[in-house]
Amino acid sequence: MAEKFAEIHVWMFNKIRLQNQFSDEVLNNIADITQKSQIYQKTQELFPFPKGNLEEIIDHENIHQWLEKHLILTDRKMAWLINKVKDEIYSMNQLEDQFFHLGKKHRDLILPVWLKPSYVYRSITDALTEGMPCDKANQVISHDENHLIWEVSRCMHSKNWMTENADVQDFYTLRDAWIHGLLDGSEFVYTASHPKYKIERN
């Protein structure tokens, strides 16, 4: 029996697709055409990402499993790619700069109105993956009109990054850079002390 297709599935797929786009942006910025082509072909071989309308490409008999499969693949794709290009093609500072600008690009795309920290938190969790919704990895532990603190109860990325012999700390460094880019020029400041994170009004 087919599962019921719901808004939460679209929401989750958009997060997975954005994670895939992060890797594609890093790939697109490689200057050497031959090098770019070789790495692109390898990512396509190892971590294929479906194209088309979600309702047409998703497995309606196994919606949750289909989403989880592509969540894992995009996470592993980023791990493999960052491990491949770091130091050989980009310095870590260059990668951080790329993710900072990707954060700014996302803000310009969604045009958020952030009246309080909880609105910022919603923008972040609407964009970045932290397991499947049922994992409930993000836990808000304190908030008011001027601040919000949340904790990631368990790392949903370490297994995937270890599978690709990559350092999951690179993931957190790049995620932090993306969030700093998202908030650049706003009245809100983000600070990270993994596994706890804080947004406060400047």
Q: What are phi and psi of 150, to 5 degrees?
A: -130, 160
Tell me how far apart the alpha carbons of residues 164 and 90 are, in angstroms, rounded to a whole number.
Answer: 18
Task: State the residue for tokens 């808004």.
Answer: 7
pLDDT confidence of residue 176? 98
pLDDT tens for the chain, 202 residues: list them: 456 778 999 999 999 999 999 999 999 999 999 999 999 999 999 999 999 989 899 999 999 999 999 999 999 999 999 999 999 999 999 999 999 999 999 999 999 999 999 999 999 999 999 999 999 999 999 999 999 999 999 999 999 999 999 999 999 999 999 999 999 999 999 999 999 999 999 9
Beta bridge partners of 90: 86
> What is the structure's pLDDT at 4?
74
CA 122 to chain centre: 14
Structure tokens at 168: 């999951």
Q: What is the CA radius of gyration of the chain?
A: 17
Residue 1, pLDDT score: 42
d(CA 190, CA 202): 10
Q: Which tens digits make up the pLDDT trace of 5-21?
A: 789 999 999 999 999 99
Residue 21 tokens, joined:
């786009």
Query: By C-alpha distance, which of 45, 46, 71 is closest to 160?
Result: 71
Angle value at C-alpha 124, between 169 and 157, nearest 5 degrees:
30
Query: Whole-number mean pLDDT of the chain?
Result: 96
- According to DSSP, residue 30 is labeled -
Give the angle subtended at the CA of 66 by the CAs of 125 and 138, to the nearest 5°: 25
User: Whole-structure pTM over 0.85, yes or no?
Assistant: yes
- Say what the pLDDT of residue 5 is: 78
Residue 142 makes CB contacts below 8 A (sequence gap 6+) with: 148, 149
Q: Name the token pair of 140.
A: 């808000």
CA dist 79 and 200 (Å) reads: 30
